[in-house]
Amino acid sequence: MKDNTIVKFATTVGTITSDSQAVDGLAVAILTSPGDNRPRQAEVISQAVAVRDTIDIDFVVTDQEEF
């Protein structure tokens, strides 16, 4: 994709950067978990112009120290 193309992002779980500009064919977004310490599967959707793609991301729970 061309530089400066706007890519829109959405997710079904947590939060994600809403949009990003492409540089050298790459647009970057930050996905953040909901922080509820539950394993979840998020669907992340990206769209640039008329091209749309989806990926599933697993949030996993790791051992944590109790405070």
This prediction has a pTM of 0.85
Domain edges within the chain: 6-59
pLDDT at 10: 98
Burial class (CB in 10 A: 0-12, 13-18, 19+), 38: exposed
- What per-residue confidence (pLDDT) applies to 65? 63
* Under-70 pLDDT residues of the chain: 64-67
* Predicted pLDDT at 43: 98
What are the pLDDT digits (tens) for 49-66?
999 999 999 999 887 666
Task: Report the pLDDT value the prediction gives residue 1, as an integer from 0 to 100.
Answer: 87
If you ran DSSP here, which 8-state letter would residue 49 be given?
Answer: T
Q: Are strands 6-11 and 40-48 parallel, antiparallel or unpaired?
A: antiparallel
